[in-house]
Amino acid sequence: MVNFYTSFQLWLSILLIYGYNVLVMAQWPSGGSTRYYDFKVQTTRIAKLCNSKDMVTINGMFPGPVVYAQEDDKIIVKVTNETPYNTTIHWHGVRQKLSCWFDGPSYITQCPIQAGQSFTYEFTMVKQKGTFFWHAHISWLRATVYGALVVYPKSGVPYPFKVPYEEHILILGEYWLEDVVQLEHATAASGGPPTPANAFTINGHPGPNYNCSNTDVYQIDVVSGKTYMLRLIHAGLNVESFFAIANHKLTIVEADAEYTKPFTTDRVMLGPGQTMIVLVTADQPLGKYSMAMGPYMSAKGVKFQNISSIAYFQYLGAVPNSFSLPAKLPSFNDNLAVMTVMDGLRSLSSPVNVPKKIDRELFVTIGLNVQKCHSKTPKKNCQGVNNGVMAASMNNISFVKPKISVLEAYYKGIDGYFTEDFPGAPLKFYDFVNGAPNIIPNNTEAILNGTRTLVLEYGTRVQLILQDTGTVTTENHPIHLHGYSFYVVAYGTGNYYPQNANFNLVDPPFMNTIGVPVGGWAAVRFVADNPGVWFMHCHLDIHQSWGLGTVFVVKNGKGELETLPHPPADLPQC
Ligand code: C2O
């Protein structure tokens, strides 16, 4: 326990220095409480990779503070913006039961918190526990504004696995030397793809593969023979990642804050927006082992960072400055490795309570597009494929964020900010995967821009097919739905045909972000029983910027327990 207490005390002192109201304890906190946190959005000077820059942080920390709670606790976070940038915070994976106003995506559920203003988020972890995270949900600020949200089971409720000796949080990220807000503007203006990150990071540290980073590396000291719980969180922007530890097996026991049947593997893949608990037993000879994060890039013709970020899994008693044993990551385009992990994800309990009857079948294509260049300075502004402008869409609608939040417009009945005509199926069916090769103008320009939403009656049992298209390039897209988790009942490669689909209605994983297979499809099911306005989008930020998203408007049901309450008084104004 020595280590646990040391690291715990370290945390506590860090937290106290930064002046929080912490209720963090070595033991699980007692239930039904309220957890208060104070988030100051600040500009902080950070040195990394032989450079330093001012970047946006919470309370000067990178990654930001960990929010701890227990199942059914209320969490209250006062966010005060001391930077010149607009901001919001999203609580990724929190279902926000009857609290849509506090979900956080800018222009979907709220206007940004402007410079000098504050907004207090308040929500309850209703029947939810596990590994979550929070991140800025506006422009690309989430590249630096993110942190873990750890929710323990209720007191006396054990984990469905042996209590680990220690737990550690590992947040995977991407780091740019440039200012990310400027970078986003420059990317948008160029019409082309984004600049790859200068480094991948684990808990903010690039590790020894990068310049000036030999000591900028995260390390876990382990005791031989003990089992460790690693809470993996993918907070990166634009690239999916493989993760592995040299010579050690990983046993997945939780994905997207829901328990899974234990599944043991050499490596895992997480897309941005996904979380996972893996258990690792220190059962190897004393030594220093690499924990590595490297890219999974399924798209064709995309530039990306290909140097892996390394952290250390260091046995106590091993020679301290020895070289670390390298971790074996799959090659960047190993689709099979991804499928193997996906096949291993099964809900812990079976049978699960997945809807068997479906009221509404939705079919949504996801993919990239190229729009014609209309600029007088094409060299500057049309750097997309074939000198066009990059875009992305669902069912060929490229989502445009409105000037006030969709939720406010909907709730107050203000006309003119969104429409209710997002199509429940593509306008035409064709060979989505192979029918639109990478050449213009084969169907890549025929997209419409708009703030189109799809309205669902309260309680609708939805089946949603997400179909990747080969327009521009096929790619694995991490599609995230706010306000819900969904059962991933089937997936496959190629085009979706019901007769070929193999549905798992017994123990499908319950997730909030699904990596739709490259050139393939995924079928998910959920019951629309949380009224509000819920964003569904690709969690690759560049795709979201290009319009890869849509919004579900879920109507109120009957009575107080099925009705979205009034907005909070301090809801920011646009
Ligand atoms: Cu973690 Cu809308 O995102």
- Residue 490: exposure state from Cβ atoms within 10 A (0-12, 13-18, ≥19): buried
Q: Is the peptide bond before 351 cis (omega within 30 degrees of 0)?
A: yes
The verdict on the CB of residue 91 being under 6 Å from ligand 1 is: no
d(CA 360, CA 555): 15
Residues of the chain falling short of pLDDT 70: 1-31, 436-446
Ligand 1 centroid to Cα of residue 97, in Å, is 16
What does the pLDDT look like over 327-359, one tens digit per residue? 999 999 999 999 999 999 999 999 999 999 999
The verdict on the CB of residue 129 being under 6 Å from ligand 1 is: no
What residue's CA is closest to ligand 1, atom 2? 105
d(CA 138, CA 401): 11
For residue 402, the tally of other CB atoms under 10 A from its CB is 19
d(CA 58, CA 80): 9
- The predicted structure's pLDDT at residue 409: 98
Give the position, in ligand 1's atom list, of the atom nearest the Cα of 93. 1
The verdict on the CB of residue 272 being under 6 Å from ligand 1 is: no
Ligand 1 centroid to Cα of residue 490, in Å, is 23
Share of the chain above pLDDT 70, in %: 93
- The predicted structure's pLDDT at residue 32: 77
The verdict on the CB of residue 535 being under 6 Å from ligand 1 is: yes
What residue's CA is closest to ligand 1, atom 3? 92
Give the position, in ligand 1's atom list, of the atom nearest the Cα of 537. 2
- The predicted structure's pLDDT at residue 445: 64
What residue's CA is closest to ligand 1, atom 1? 92
Give the position, in ligand 1's atom list, of the atom nearest the Cα of 273. 1
Give the position, in ligand 1's atom list, of the atom nearest the Cα of 142. 1
d(CA 250, CA 97): 33
Give the position, in ligand 1's atom list, of the atom nearest the Cα of 513. 1
Residues 6+ apart with CB under 8 A from 259: 130, 160, 253, 347, 348, 349
Q: Collapsing DSSP states into helix, strand and coil, what is residue 442? A: coil
Q: Collapsing DSSP states into helix, strand and coil, what is residue 380? A: helix
DSSP state letter for 109: T
d(CA 548, CA 538): 6
Residue 554, beta-bridge partner list: 456, 532
The verdict on the CB of residue 482 being under 6 Å from ligand 1 is: yes
Q: Rounded to the nearest 5°, which phi and psi values hold at 339?
A: -60, -40
The verdict on the CB of residue 234 being under 6 Å from ligand 1 is: no
Asked whether the beta carbons of 346 and 264 are under 8 A apart, the reply is no
- The predicted structure's pLDDT at residue 26: 39
- The predicted structure's pLDDT at residue 323: 86
The verdict on the CB of residue 105 being under 6 Å from ligand 1 is: yes
Asked whether the beta carbons of 315 and 290 are under 8 A apart, the reply is no
- The predicted structure's pLDDT at residue 31: 56
Asked whether the beta carbons of 85 and 92 are under 8 A apart, the reply is no
Give the position, in ligand 1's atom list, of the atom nearest the Cα of 104. 2
d(CA 168, CA 220): 8
d(CA 72, CA 31): 7
Which residue bears the tokens 């090659």? 331
The verdict on the CB of residue 401 being under 6 Å from ligand 1 is: no
The verdict on the CB of residue 137 being under 6 Å from ligand 1 is: yes
